[in-house]
Structure 1
């Protein structure tokens, strides 16, 4: 049965600033990797139908082996839908020889504006591969949201 993981956060920044950070290569490399990882984007095409390839590297691979190699997770992300400034839908496929990580996971980033200076971000991951531990995945999404908040709240 397909699984859904989610996380949410209120960010003290305007919705357009948050949305822009979801579609800027340098921004994503900075804030998207969760705690304990670094990230590098190799390919970049920020439009509906486009996407990117990101290599996430574990800072301490002995604690968390990678899906693609001993120290990395490689993910190919397709932009399935972009609706500025409220929605980004990504379809993510991990590079892995392990079938428990196979399949296409959909990540939906929904942004609402409770007021002019803040954004409520809800991230919903559907069709999560069974090899990805739910608690670890939700903690990783929450970590990325915390990084996103720090990134966009610090922009003047």
Structure 2
């Protein structure tokens, strides 16, 4: 069964500023890792058909096993649709020997201007069954909170 996880947040920043933060390497490293993790981008090609590889390291690896190793999640992300300033679509594949994390998850970032800024909705489809839905949605919400802090702090 195909699973879809979805999280939204209104960010007090213009749509273009949010879009730019989705496509800048240093921005992604700053805001994408959810609470309890840090991230490092190893490869960067921000265009349709390009992508990036991110290593997410658990600050406390005893809290739960990583997907790629005890303390890390490694994900290869391909950029699909890039519609400035409205949408970014990504295909994410986790590096893992565990078949519960196999497959390609599609992440769609929809950015809609609203009176107070931009409503960002992240929709994840084909989520691997090894990823707990509540934990995944909490992680996306944490990343969105980080994104809000990142773009709202910039002029």
TM range (shorter): over 0.9
Instruction: Please provide the CA RMSD for this pair.
Output: 0.6
Q: CA deviation at 1:57?
A: 0.2
Alignment partner of 1:65 is 2:77: no
**Mapping 1:54-133, distance limit 5 Å:** 54-115=54-115, 118-133=117-132
Work out the CA distance in 1 between the residues paired with 2:34 and 2:64: 13
Runs of 4 or more consecutive aligned structure 1 residues displaced over 3 Å after TM superposition: none
Q: Deviations over 1:15-69 (max 9, x none)?
A: 0000000000000000000000000000000000000000000000100210001
Length-normalised TM-score, structure 1 = 0.98
Could you say which residue in structure 1 is the equivalent of 2:137?
A: 138
Work out the CA distance in 2 between the residues paired with 1:39 and 1:129: 21
Could you say which residue in structure 2 is the equivalent of 1:30?
A: 30
Length-normalised TM-score, structure 2 = 0.99
Question: How many pairs were matched up?
Answer: 155
Work out the CA distance in 2 between the residues paired with 1:46 and 1:80: 10
Work out the CA distance in 1 between the residues paired with 2:126 and 2:58: 24
Q: CA deviation at 1:122?
A: 0.2
